[in-house]
Structure 1
Amino acid sequence: MPLIEGSYGGVQGGWDPGASSSSASSGSGQYRFKDGKWYVYSGGKWVPSASGPPNQTGSSSNSDKDSNANRNAYEYLKRTFESWGLGTLAPKILEMVQQGYDADTVMLMLQDTDEYKKRFAGNEARRKAGLAVLSPAEYLSLERSYRQILESNGMPAGFYDSLDDFTSWIGQDVSPAEIQDRVQLAARAVSNTDTGYLESLREYGLGQGDLVAAMLDRSRALPILQKRVREAEIGAEARRQGLRLSQARADYFESMGVDRSQAASAYQMIGSALPTLENLGDIYDDSTYGQADLEDELLGRSGMASERRRRLQSRETGSFSGESGLNRSSLGVGTRGSF
């Protein structure tokens, strides 16, 4: 900007530097900074100064540098905390930077916020247990390792897919190697189970990952999965005899306390007796009699089902004046009802 005749700050013979200029005073005169240059008031005029006022050379440049440094610190911290899932702390970061705190200090101060403590809650458990607190990088690395192991072993949806799920493992210092061992043990246990059992599990909405989940999170998954497993065991015994059992029926018998050995005994008798009883039902106009009736009698303690079977046997005995083809020795003794 060229020199302009006029006045500034009561000094005649100068120019108005504008709002963006800076000024300074020294024992030898008054100075103004404009467009990257210092000017000194000398001989009634503003003239360029080679050095600027004493101890002030380049102060505007230093101010610009400080501003850039603050902006860079803010951007670095904001992006870092966003990558940790703590983008909501951006306003606090900006406030602290504007107050003159450097990046390291801001980082330390933010660790005292509720948001930070919640995100890295496993560290508080570690501290109380006398374990070393993890850095954010170490904490995040553990989370990634856990997630990769679980996903690769077919964990079902809903298990370990939020940021809070790994808190207990981190707090207890559970290593990824230990999680890998536990997952593999559970997977091997499932893979060695008989085909009928696995088919029943799948039919009832369970896969290998669900059983692995039970091993990993017993407080949340085990009660439900234990019930499903018992249902699948009952269904597996039906499959052994070439029969099918719906999950609703399996759930009903499981709720009555039927276990796998009882189901095995019952379905052996059902498999043996069912063809004859179904044939009798067709002969004596009771074609609705079938598998469910025998299940209700042997597994469900149904007196009505027992009575229906006895009526069929009586009609057969009466028709042929002899012993029924479903005598006590051929059917055995039921685990819950009796023949």
Structure 2
Amino acid sequence: MSDIPPMDVTEDDLAISAQEEQDARDAVEIIRDTLRQYGLEDLTSEAYNMLIDGSSTEAVVLRLRESESFQERFKGMQMRTDNKLPGISPAEYISLERSYRQTMAAAGIPEGFYDSPDDLAAFIGNDVSQNEMAQRVAMAAAAVQSVDPNLKTQLRDLYGIGTENDGELTAYFLDPDRGVNMIEQRLQMEAAGLSSAAMGTLGGGFERDTAERLADLGVQRREVTERLQGDRGLTQQLLGEEQAVTTSELAAAEFGLDSDAIADVARLRQQRQQRGRRQMGSLVTGGGAAGLGRAT
């Protein structure tokens, strides 16, 4: 007869329970690490409770994937399903997100411009590959390099675009609708272009309000150049004058934006003409006196 005492049922149950709890703890550690990578640590306690209640690891994972938090975090997966695209794993999803962010960061695109979960989900849901994203960013960067320097200056001075580096301009060309709606974006580009034309013609750009009003009127760059090219001297104060006029005042007068500007420019033109006549008279008088002297 064996001398080994029979195991108490209670002790056996405790051992099994302890092992089950340990297994659950081991499983939840694995799940916790995975959820941490997903940015879903808040689901860890729910996973642990399900494991303790006897759910298998596979069942827990499936249940978590059906949760609202998971669906929100990986909403690009549902978009792919809706668009009849092949499914991808969470690991592949995260890899794509990382590649998008790295590509934009390398181009100097500011954080927060195009890297929210919703932005990245839209890329993934529409099957934008890493290569396609790189091509888009490269094209935007190339557009920045081809921009007229005066236009870049005006975008920076009038709208604060590109104050840090070309990455801001790259972002602007990548998606002009981000931060401004399409109408505003078109107006900004046209206004900056008009101010750029003024810079080349008069030596200085327009104030923002003037540039935007001209753009809203449909004024073209060539019109700015043609109609203001003979007026550069009016922006330069002469000795004895209280002040000259600004490039914006000139444009406001020339294109009928402001009655005060029209009056100021007309007054300055008249003063300059009178000054010119006085100077001419002095030259004539001086020349005549000298001529009479030589005749004697």
TM-score tier after normalising by the smaller chain length: 0.7 to 0.9
Distance in 2 between residues matched to 1:218 and 1:193, nearest whole Å: 15
| Distance of 1:72 and 1:110 partners within structure 2 | 17
Residues 173 and 218 (structure 1), Cα distance of their counterparts in 2 relative to 1, 3 Å cut: farther
**Equivalent in the alignment of 2:167:** 209
Alignment of 1:156 with 2:118, yes or no, is no
Which has the larger displacement, 265-274 or 111-120? 265-274
Change (3 A) 1:217 1:166: farther
In the TM superposition, 1:285-300 aligns within 5 A as 287=243, 289-300=245-256
Matched to 2:170, the amino acid is: V
Q: What displacement does 1:182 show?
A: 1.2
Change in Cα spacing, 1:289 to 1:111, as seen in structure 2 (3 Å) is closer
* 1:189 counterpart residue number: 143
Q: Deviation digits for residues 174-214 of structure 1, max 9, x if unmatched? A: 11111111111111111022222222223231123344334
Alignment gaps of 5+ in structure 2: 281-296
Name the CA shift for 1:246/1:304 in 2 (closer, same or farther; >3 Å).
closer
RMSD of Structure 2 on Structure 1 (CA)? 3.4
Question: Computing the radius of gyration over CA atoms, which structure comes out larger, 1 or 2?
Answer: 1
Could you say which residue in structure 1 is the equivalent of 2:191? 231
Specify whether residues 86 and 266 from structure 1 end up closer, same or farther in structure 2 by C-alpha distance, changes over 3 A only. farther
Summarize the Cα distance change of 1:159–1:289 in structure 2 as closer, same or farther, 3 Å threshold.
closer
Q: Deviations over 1:242-292 (max 9, x none)?
A: 2243445434443444343333334423325545xx44xx66x66354544
> Would you say the 8 A contact 1:253–1:300 is kept in 2?
no
Between the two proteins, what is the percent identity of the paired residues? Answer: 28
Distance 2:145 2:125 in 1: 31
What's 1:7 paired with? none
Q: State the Cα distance separating 1:152 from its structure 2 match.
A: 0.9
Does structure 1 residue 302 correspond to structure 2 residue 263? Answer: no
Corresponding residue of 2:127: 173
- Aligned residue for 2:161, secondary structure, equals coil
- 2:23 aligned partner, one-letter code: A
- Counterpart in the other structure of 2:56: 102
Residues in 2 aligned to 1:203 and 1:289: alpha-carbon distance in whole angstroms: 20
Q: Would you say 1:250 and 2:214 are equivalent positions?
A: no
Deviation at 1:125, TM superposition (A): 0.8
Residue 268 in structure 1 maps to residue 229 in structure 2: yes
Unaligned runs of 5+ in 1: 1-41, 324-339
Deviation at 1:303, TM superposition (A): 3.8
Cross-structure match for 1:49: 4
The one-letter code matched in structure 2 to 1:87 is E
CA contact (8 A) 1:97 1:106 kept: yes
> 154, 160, 164: which one pairs with 1:200?
154
Distance 1:211 1:225, change over 3 A: farther
Q: 1:218 Cα shift? A: 5.0
Letter of the aligned partner of 1:109 in structure 2? R
Q: Which amino acid aligns with 1:263?
A: V
- Does the CA-based 8 Å contact 1:297-1:305 persist in structure 2? yes
Distance change in 2, residues 1:316/1:235 (3 Å): closer
